[in-house]
Each structure stands twice: as C-alpha cells, then as structure tokens.
C-alpha cells in the first residue's frame, strides 16, 4: 500500500475519520482474547508496562482504520487489527515505526512511508 497525498483526498480529513465505523469485529475480538486486552464500548484498552514496572493504558478508538499522517502531507489508513498488533508487539516504539517493523517482518511493507532512520537500520540488521 502506498501513502496517498492529502491533496488527492476528496473529503476533508476530519470528515473521513468521523465516518469510519469499526471494521472486522471478529478479528478485533480475537486479538482482545489472544492478548488479554480490555475493552469498553468505544475503546480497545492495551496495558503497557514501562521499565519501572508501572502499568499504563493505551486507549484505541474502535474504528475501522487509524490514520497516520506523515511528513510531506501523506497519510496511510491502517486497519484497527494491525494497530492493535503493532502496539502489543512494539509498545516502546512510535506507532508508525511499530507498523513499519510489523509489515517488514511479514513481507507486506508499505513502500514510501517514512520511518525513523534508527528503526529502519535496526530492522535491516535483523534487530528489534
């Protein structure tokens, strides 16, 4: 998937985001069960443990996609299931970097999407 320039989008970004409803409910529910996550009516709640052992919570809105806007006025809409998976697997990274690594590992990379140089170099060397 290649990023889409914002100028080519037919609707304002805010309207597009508001129009999304939750997508593949079964896939999201399976991830919630697999990782022992919490949820409420509007959020998937991911507990994240920091280096000191404290637990923080990451609240993700239950929407079909999460849009990440990159420098250069590009954006990519990622499915909620991918966002959950990336957040659980790489809680210490920026979401954009975590998604990059996840797609690189699976061989479905998003070409042209910017990512932190250090993360890309580590990924190229096979490090996490």
Which carries the bigger pLDDT value, residue 114 or residue 87?
87
Establish if 127 belongs to a structural domain: no
Q: What is the distance between the alpha carbons of residues 17 and 21, in angstroms, rounded to a whole number? A: 9
Establish if 93 belongs to a structural domain: yes
SS3 state of residue 69: strand
* Among 47-51, 87-91, 115-119, the least confident range: 115-119
Does residue 43 have a pLDDT over 90?
Answer: yes
Q: What is the distance between the alpha carbons of residues 78 and 99, in angstroms, rounded to a whole number? A: 9
Residue 14: its pLDDT value, please?
Answer: 37
Establish if 62 belongs to a structural domain: yes
Residue 103: its pLDDT value, please?
Answer: 84
Establish if 108 belongs to a structural domain: yes
Q: What is the distance between the alpha carbons of residues 86 and 104, in angstroms, rounded to a whole number? A: 12
Establish if 76 belongs to a structural domain: yes
- What's the number of domains the chain is made of? 1
Establish if 5 belongs to a structural domain: no
The CA-atom distances, in angstroms, between 48 and each of 11, 21, 56, 124 are 35, 25, 5, 26
Note down the domain range covering 19. Answer: 11-116
Q: Give the model confidence (pLDDT) of 7-41 as tens digits.
A: 444 444 433 333 344 557 889 999 999 999 999 99
Rg of the chain over all Cα atoms, to the nearest angstrom: 15
pLDDT category of residue 117 using cuts at 50, 70 and 90: low
């Amino acid at each position: 998937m290649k990023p889409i320039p914002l100028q080519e989008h037919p609707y304002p970004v805010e309207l597009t985001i508001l129009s999304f409803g939750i997508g593949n409910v079964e896939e999201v529910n399976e991830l919630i069960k697999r990782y022992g996550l919490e949820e409420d009516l509007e959020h998937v709640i991911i507990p994240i443990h920091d280096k000191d052992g404290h637990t923080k919570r990451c609240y993700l809105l239950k929407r079909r996609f999460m849009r990440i806007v990159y420098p250069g006025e590009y954006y990519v809409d990622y499915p909620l299931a991918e966002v959950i998976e990336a957040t659980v697997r790489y809680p210490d990274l920026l979401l954009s970097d975590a998604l990059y690594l996840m797609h690189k590992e699976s061989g479905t990379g998003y070409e042209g999407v910017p990512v932190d140089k250090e993360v890309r170099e580590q990924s190229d060397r096979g490090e996490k």
